[in-house]
C-alpha cells in the first residue's frame, strides 16, 4: 500500500494544517446569546435547569452584555419574563404595554451600546397570557387570526423601542405578514423579521419553560408548532414566511433537525439561523458535570454541526463559555 497516491490523512497530522483546510468554521460574529429579562433592574435569579444562565434585571443585563461584548458576542436575543405578581391577560396585552419589560430592556441596551450591539427580540404571547399559550384562546383552542393583532402590536413596541430585529416564535399562520404590515404602517420599514419559520413541538424546550415561566396551563402546543415527523412541511413554512416578508429564517431546535436546516439552506437565499435550544444545552451541562462527556469537545461538535449543515447564525447558550474559554 506504500504507493497510494491519495491519502486523506496527509492533511490531518499537523493541527495548523487541519485548521487551514477545515470546511466548517466558527467565530464570534455568528453567535447570538439569549437572555431572560426581569422587571426588577438589579434582580438576578439562577435557573436550576440551565447552569451558568440567569434571569436578570436590566441593570444586571447591561453589565453582562458589556462583558460579553468584550468576548466578541455582538448580538443578543431577549425574552421578557413577567413576575408572578404581574397581571396576565387572555390576549397577552401586557407584552406591549407602556411599561412592558422587553421594550424597556431594548431601550436601555441601545442607549448604552448603540450600534455596537444587535438587539433581537422574541415576539410571542406565551409569557404574558394567563394560559401560557402563544395565542388567544377561543372555545378551548388557540385561535389563529385573533392572535395576530397582539403579536403585531408587540413587534411594533419592540421595534419602536429600538430593536434591530424582531423574531416571532408563536407559529401562528400569517403572523409574519401581520407584523410586516404593522411595522411598515408605523414607519418601521427598515426593521428586519427573523422568523422562527421551522419551530417544532419538542421535548427539548423543557429547561426554557422553567427559565421563562412559559409552560402552558393546559394541553400542549402541537396544534401550532410543527410535528417532529415532518420534513417537507418545513419547506412550506419557510416559503410562506418568505412570501410574507421574512428577512431571516430559523430552524428550532437544532440537533434533531439538521436535515431540515440543510433543506432550508439549500432552498432559500435568505440567511438561516439555528436555535441551539435549552434542552440541548442542559443535556451537555448535565453529562459534563457527571464526567460522562468532555464539555468542550461535545459543545464544539454540536456548534460545528450547525455550521456544517448550513447555519449562518447560531443562537446558543454556549456562546459565552466557548469564547471565554478560548474553545474556538
Cα 199 to Cα 286: distance, rounded to the nearest angstrom: 25
37 alpha-carbon distance from chain centroid: 14
Catalytic residue check, 199: yes
- CB 195, CB 249: distance < 8 Å: yes
* 3 state SS of 31: strand
Instruction: Provide CB contacts within 8 A for 234, sequence distance 6+.
Output: 197, 198, 226, 251, 260, 263, 264
Q: What is the DSSP letter of 63?
A: H
Catalytic residue among 70, 88, 110, 199: 199
- Enumerate the H helices of 124-191 as residue ranges: 144-160, 175-185
Angle made by CA atoms 231, 232, 233, in degrees to the nearest 5: 90
Among the listed residues 257, 302, 262, the one whose alpha carbon sits nearest the alpha carbon of residue 282: 302
Beta bridge partners of 275: 315
Beta bridge partners of 86: none
Residue in the structure block whose three cell numbers are 430552524: 251
Please give the grid coordinates belonging to residue 147.
392572535
Query: Catalytic pick from 252, 265, 285, 321?
Result: 252
Q: What is the DSSP string of 241-293?
A: HHHHT-SEEEEESSGGGHHHHHHHHHH--S-EEEEE-HHHHHHHHHHHHTTSS
Let me know if 265 is a catalytic residue.
no
Cα(248)–Cα(212) distance, integer angstroms: 24
CA distance 245 to 180: 6
Active site residues: 199, 252
Amino acid at each position: 500500500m506504500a504507493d497510494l497516491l491519495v491519502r486523506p490523512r496527509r492533511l490531518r497530522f499537523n493541527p495548523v494544517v487541519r485548521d487551514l483546510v477545515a470546511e466548517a468554521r466558527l467565530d464570534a460574529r455568528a453567535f447570538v446569546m439569549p437572555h431572560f429579562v426581569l422587571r426588577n433592574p438589579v434582580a438576578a435569579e439562577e435557573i436550576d435547569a440551565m447552569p451558568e444562565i440567569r434571569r436578570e434585571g436590566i441593570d444586571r443585563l447591561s453589565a453582562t452584555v458589556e462583558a460579553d461584548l468584550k468576548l466578541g458576542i455582538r448580538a443578543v436575543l431577549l425574552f421578557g419574563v413577567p413576575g408572578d405578581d404581574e397581571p396576565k391577560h387572555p390576549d397577552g396585552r401586557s407584552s406591549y404595554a407602556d411599561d412592558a419589560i422587553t421594550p424597556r430592556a431594548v431601550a436601555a441596551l441601545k442607549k448604552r451600546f448603540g450600534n455596537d450591539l444587535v438587539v433581537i427580540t422574541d415576539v410571542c404571547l406565551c409569557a404574558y397570557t394567563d394560559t401560557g399559550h402563544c395565542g388567544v384562546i377561543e372555545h378551548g383552542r388557540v385561535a389563529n387570526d385573533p392572535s395576530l393583532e397582539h403579536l403585531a402590536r408587540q413587534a411594533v413596541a419592540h421595534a419602536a423601542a429600538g430593536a434591530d430585529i424582531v423574531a416571532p416564535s408563536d407559529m401562528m399562520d400569517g403572523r409574519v405578514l401581520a407584523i410586516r404590515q404593522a411595522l411598515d404602517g408605523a414607519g418601521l420599514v427598515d426593521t428586519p423579521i427573523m422568523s422562527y419559520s421551522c419551530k417544532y413541538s419538542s421535548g427539548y424546550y423543557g429547561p426554557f419553560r422553567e427559565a421563562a415561566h412559559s409552560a402552558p396551563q393546559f394541553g400542549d402546543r402541537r396544534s401550532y408548532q410543527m410535528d417532529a415527523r415532518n420534513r417537507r412541511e418545513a419547506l412550506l413554512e419557510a416559503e410562506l414566511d418568505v412570501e410574507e416578508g421574512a428577512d431571516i429564517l430559523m430552524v428550532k431546535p437544532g440537533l434533531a433537525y439538521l436535515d431540515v436546516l440543510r433543506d432550508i439552506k439549500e432552498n432559500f437565499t435568505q440567511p438561516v439561523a439555528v436555535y441551539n435550544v435549552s434542552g440541548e444545552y442542559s443535556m451537555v451541562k448535565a453529562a459534563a458535570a457527571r464526567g460522562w462527556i468532555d464539555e468542550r469537545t461535545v459543545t464544539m461538535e454540536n456548534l460545528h454541526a450547525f455550521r456544517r449543515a448550513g447555519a449562518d447564525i447560531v443562537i446558543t447558550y454556549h456562546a459565552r463559555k466557548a469564547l471565554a474559554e478560548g474553545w474556538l
